[in-house]
Amino acid sequence: MKTALKLDHVSFDYGQKAALKDVSFSVADGTFCALLGPNGAGKSTLFSLLSRLRIPAKGQIDISGRSLLQDPMHGLAGMGIVFQQPTLDLDTTVRQNLIYFAGLHGLRGVDAHHSITRALTRMRMSERADEKVRLLNGGHRRRMEIARALVHNPRILLLDEPTVGLDAQSRKDITDHVHDLVAEGLAVLWATHLVDEIGDHDQVVLLHEGRIIADGPAQTLRGEDRLLDWYLHRTHAENVMP
Amino acid sequence: MNHYLTAFQVIGMRELRRFFTQRGRFLSALVRPLVWLLIFATGFRAALGVSIIAPYQTYITYETYILPGLCAMILLFNGMQSSLSLVYDREVGPMRLLLTAPLPRWWLLFSKLTASVLVGCLQVYAFLAVAVLFGVKLSLAGYVLILPALIGVGLMLGALGLLLSSVIRQLENFATVMNFVIFPVFFLSSALYPLWRMRESSELLFYVCSWNPFTYAVELVRFSAYATSAPVQMAIVAGSGVVFFLLANHLYDPARR
């Protein structure tokens, strides 16, 4: 499998405070990679580097084999991003939100219409296309944001704690949907601090205090332990909020 | 290039849709200058007599004098309001969506800026239409000729707003800056009184007004409304706009932290 996303010795700091220290890992096509870590581990900072809202102080980020720093347009065109905070226009319809996004990626007219229809179908949101976003529940809004991130048919999907604030059923639905997308060949980087969103065959990158402290298949990393126990053990359980 | 234009189009449509769905914003954009025109101007008409100055060729009423200044005020408020929405967008998210589009950042910011100018021009024409009902009007040609001036002034003030939004991280700070920017910029200009009147009272304030780009924005609109060329005003508005935009673009650079 080809490498979709690769970070090589990436560091970032907020002035005196180091947020990421020498972070290296890669995600292959067709892989669900859980970027696991407690609050404050540096997950959102890492996402802002991947989405080029910030530039790393050191290191290299490659998207589909090309440097994000040197060729940002190629990198951004190849990824779909779901931010932790909602980025929706609440008083417009689902379709209008997607048309706006499609336009930002250069899609218009029939092409945009087909792409939007396909993305909504993939996320089972077709019947909601003409509803105002404000009327959707939290789970549907998130699904809509994922559909939006798929409109331009990216090779990589980045999701920053996409299930925060959702009920158990919505969380499970969204996690399952995204695992289905992986089966279609998409590379997914899913930031989370919730281990029940991770399957045994998923890749886990454990980020703690800005450093990668483990990287591998969940099943291998946890050994005979439950994933939660392994996670708490590795990240110093006393520091983790229940 | 198609991609650029498509993005430009959807950014413009989004801004227009937001404007038309936010009726309160439209009404306040209309009421604010009308209060100045119909109440303030009536009250101060006698106190603030205006002599014959370019581009006017005869004595004019005070309402006629402040009309271009109020048009520029609408664009000033619109520019600031638009940048306020940028700060809000950045705090709650949509700005991130815009900035992660695969297009150069300067183009995305320029598209956003132009879209907000479009909205500002609509507000100005709505105001001018209501002003006609109260007998304050321009010639037909004046309504056409001010459009390029409005666009230029709108771009300059929008770029100023963009610059402010790039350095302000929180909405609370922004509200303070609104007071520290809008009022001084507006009152230290020729919007409400000719600068010679200011000079009679204070030489210092006269010089401050003379250095204020907003003064030239007001005068550009005024001269355009009376089909009089204003190359100096045009150059200052264009130059200030370019400087504000380049600075804003630099400050939005992701390499800055």
The pLDDT of A103-117, averaged and rounded, is 94
Quote the pLDDT of residue B51. 65
pLDDT tens figures, B226-237:
989 899 999 999
CA B96 remoteness from chain centre: 25
A81 touches chain B (CB under 8 A): yes
Residue A56 has pLDDT above 80, yes or no: yes
pLDDT tens figures, A179-198:
999 999 999 999 999 999 99
Which residues, given as ranges, of chain B have pLDDT below 50? 257
CA distance A48 to chain B (A): 9
A73 touches chain B (CB under 8 A): yes
Cite the DSSP H helix spans in chain A: 43-50, 72-77, 94-104, 109-122, 138-150, 168-183, 218-222, 227-234
Quote the pLDDT of residue A242. 44
The residues with which A8 forms a beta bridge, in sequence order, are: A60
Give the C-alpha separation, B84 to B73, whole Å. 16
Quote the pLDDT of residue B251. 84
**A212 membership: H or E segment, kind and range:** strand A211-217
CA B94 remoteness from chain centre: 24
Q: Which CATH topology does A3-78+155-239 take?
A: Rossmann fold (3.40.50)
Of A33-37, A150-154, B88-92, the poorest mean pLDDT is in B88-92
Whether the Cβ atoms of residue B7 and residue B101 lie closer than 8 Å to each other: yes
Query: Do the chains contact at A53 and B99, CB–CB below 8 Å?
Result: yes
Domain ranges of chain A: 3-78+155-239, 88-153
Looking at residue B132, its amino acid is: V
A90 touches chain B (CB under 8 A): no
Quote the pLDDT of residue B175. 66
DSSP-assigned letter for residue A134 = G
CA distance A220 to chain B (A): 35
Quote the pLDDT of residue A105. 95
Domain ranges of chain B: 2-251
Task: State the residue for tokens 């780009």.
Answer: B213
Closest among B91, B67, B93, B55 to B169, alpha carbons compared = B91
Give the C-alpha separation, B96 to B107, whole Å. 15
Cross-sheet strand order for the sheet of A203-208: A79-82, A156-160, A187-192, A32-36, A203-208, A211-217
Give the C-alpha separation, A66 to A47, whole Å. 18
User: What ipTM describes this predicted complex?
Assistant: 0.85
Query: Do β-strands A203-208 and A211-217 pair in parallel, antiparallel, or remain unpaired?
Result: antiparallel
Query: Do the chains contact at B94 and A88, CB–CB below 8 Å?
Result: yes
Quote the pLDDT of residue B96. 81
CA B180 remoteness from chain centre: 16
Give the C-alpha separation, B227 to B65, whole Å. 15
A105 touches chain B (CB under 8 A): yes
Quote the pLDDT of residue A227. 93
Find all residues with CB under 8 Å of B219, minimum gap 6, and list them: B68, B190, B230, B233
Instruction: Mutation target for B interface from A104, A132, A133, A153: give the one with most B CBs within 10 A.
Output: A104
The residues with which A93 forms a beta bridge, in sequence order, are: A132
B chain contacts of residue A51, beta-carbon cutoff 8 Å = 96, 100
| Interhelix angle B231-251/B213-225, nearest 10 degrees | 130
Query: Do the chains contact at A106 and B18, CB–CB below 8 Å?
Result: no
Instruction: Mutation target for B interface from A87, A99, A115, A152: give the one with most B CBs within 10 A.
Output: A87
Quote the pLDDT of residue A238. 40
A chain contacts of residue B106, beta-carbon cutoff 8 Å = none
For residues A173-192, one letter each, b for 16 or more C-beta atoms within 10 angstroms of the residue's C-beta and e for the rest, the string is: bbbebbbebbeeebbbbbbb
Q: Please report which confidence band the pLDDT of residue A240 belongs to, taking 50, 70 and 90 as the band edges.
A: very low
State which residue of chain B sits closest to A112, comparing Cα positions: B6
Quote the pLDDT of residue B249. 86
Closest to B94 (Cβ–Cβ): which among A73, A76, A89? A89
Find all residues with CB under 8 Å of B93, minimum gap 6, and list them: A83, A85, A86, A87, A88
Closest to A54 (Cβ–Cβ): which among B13, B18, B254? B254
